[in-house]
Amino acid sequence: MSNTTDGPMHWVKSTYSSGDGGQCVEWSPAYAIAHGVVPVRDSKVPNGPTLMLSPTGFAGLIAFARSVDV
Cα 64 → chain centroid: 14
Q: Residue 6: inside a domain, yes or no?
A: no
Residues 5, 60: Cα–Cα separation, whole Å: 23
**37 lies in some domain:** yes
Partnered with residue 26 across adjacent β-strands are 13, 41
Q: What pLDDT, in 10s, does the model give residues 27-68?
A: 999 999 999 999 999 988 989 999 999 999 999 988 998 888
Please name the helix (run of DSSP H) or strand (run of DSSP E) that holds residue 12, with its range, or none. Answer: strand 12-13
Phi and psi for 58 in degrees, rounded to 5? -65, -40
23: containing domain: 12-67
Residue 3 belongs to a domain: no
2, pLDDT greater than 60? no
Helices then strands, counting H and E runs in the chain, come out as: 2, 4
Per the structure, how many domains does the chain have?
Answer: 1
Is 7 part of any domain?
no
